[in-house]
A and B are shown apart, each in its own frame.
Chain A
Amino acid sequence: MSKKQLPKNKEISKIVFKKGELAKEVEDISGENLFGCYQCGTCSAGCPYVDDMDLTPDEVIRYVILDRQEVLNSKTIWLCSACFTCAERCPRDINITKIMEALRQIVLRRKIDRSNAHKTTKKEREKIPQIAFVSLFRKNIG
């Protein structure tokens, strides 16, 4: 696996895990077995956001297993909008959507927010449906 350049966030980079702890926390939060993944890439092939991601969903799983904590800095986990396409198609029946949520939760539970919703203009605020705001807050603030 080639080394990829991931964006660096000061606060997120401060999160430290001992060996194997990251995978364990992801498994605890998601209730999914990461080690069941055999890297077929079906999740990445069907992901509607894959073009904009820095790590593909199957790479995210590999990074967690290999204890590469920079995965928490990747754009991928914040791009996932929980459409469940990957979870539906996974031949190993792993709910990747839940794994992405677990990685977001690891960051959010350490009181690091990822939303700039307050910068939305008034005109936009009046037009955008509430469900968009509530889901954004749930996903990016916790």
Chain B
Amino acid sequence: MKLLYFPGCTLKTSAKNLEKSAFFIMEKLGHELKEMDDWVCCGVVSSLSDDDLMRHLAPLRSLIHVEDQGEDKVITLCDMCCNTLKQTNLRVKEKPDDLETLNAFMDRENDYKGTVKVLHFLEFLRDEVGFATLKKMVKNPLCGLKIMPYYGCMMLRPREVAIDDAEDPTIMSDLLTVLGAEVVDNPFKIECCGSYHTIENKEIVSNRAHRITNFATERAADAIMLSCPLCRFNIDERGKDAEKKFKGYKQIPVYYYTQLIAIALGLDPSVCGFENHAVDPNLLLKKKGVYKKIEI
């Protein structure tokens, strides 16, 4: 199956490894991700002011370009993009008057007909590939690894665009079980990582990273698995900063779910791009003997 994919800015810069590992997983699964033509920035945060339609223009433009390419489905890897595209899609479906205004404003584009379905890659793996199929393909189970899933905000809230239950999600722990890892549960799994405060208020973000990670390490977790590139940066990099502030605190490695799937499917670790992480994710995998079984 060939599927259209919306990358977004971060996947092309600081989260290249998330994109690369996802491409290789798809190849292994016998599908193909095709980057869509003419994608534009999604705007990252969806409009929260009711009277302002301007912020829906950017995501809507990309949705129109999906329709222009004759597709009715688009996959995103970034949680922020997924959330923004889904919220705009929902808004124009619920309020046809708003769609009319937006269509009239973008007079050089075709009208949006509302046929596109936005999918998070994780959602695609669960609903269309199926975790059971994934399980059959695991060659290199992550035995002995205790991993805490971390969901963040954007894939769970608001409820209308969530890919799983907003208070008690299970999609990541289900995935980890399929991959053969042990799941460490944590009430902070759905709490905000500090988001954009990482620019102007580093202190708050490293406190949050410490709080989230500390709870996991107290429960003997070896690593954290997440999906959003901003959560990765905040927990990994700012968590590393927190080591100076909190005595005895040690930041544990942070993986994207795509990287762990790639390792479990027996792909070459070089597709994971581990060099971009603050805490080296390789060390743990070597220590636990996960790599030994890979035939390169």
Contacts and interface: CB of A to CB of B under 8 A. Distances in A.
A129 B158 contact: no
A23 to B, nearest CB: 15
B157 A117 contact: no
Contacts, number: 118
Given A31-B50, A131-B9, A133-B199, A81 B44 contact: no
B149 interface: no
Interface in B224-266: 229-230, 233, 237
B199 A129 contact: no
A102 interface: yes
A129 B233 contact: yes
A33 interface: no
A135 B200 CA distance: 12
Interface of A is mostly: helix
Contacts of B229: 129, 131
Contact of A81 (B15, B190, B197): B197
B157 A101 contact: no
B177 interface: no
A30 interface: yes
Nearest to A31: B50
Contacts of A113: none
B159 to A, nearest CB: 6
A87 to B, nearest CB: 6
Interface string A24-36: 0000111100000
Interface string A70-107: 00000000010111110110000000011001100100
Contacts of B55: 138
A52 B204 contact: yes
B45 A128 contact: no
A128 B233 contact: yes
Interface string B3-16: 00000111001110
Contacts of B195: 81-83, 132, 135
A132 B230 CA distance: 7
Contact of B10 (A87, A116, A130): A130
A136 B157 contact: no
Contacts of B41: 134
Nearest to B46: A82
B153 interface: yes
Interface string A113-137: 0011100100010011111111110
B196 A127 contact: no
B75 to A, nearest CB: 18
Contacts of B9: 130-131, 134
B199 A131 contact: no
Contact of A85 (B49, B191, B233): B191
Interface in B68-99: 78, 80
Contact of A48 (B15, B43, B159, B208): B208
A82 to B, nearest CB: 6
Contact of B198 (A29, A128, A138): A128
Q: Which of A79, A82, A130, A134 has the most CB of B within 10 A?
A: A130
A49 B204 contact: yes
A132 B233 contact: yes
A127 B233 contact: yes
Interface of A: 28-31, 48-49, 52, 79, 81-85, 87-88, 97-98, 101-102, 105, 115-117, 120, 124, 127-136, 138-139
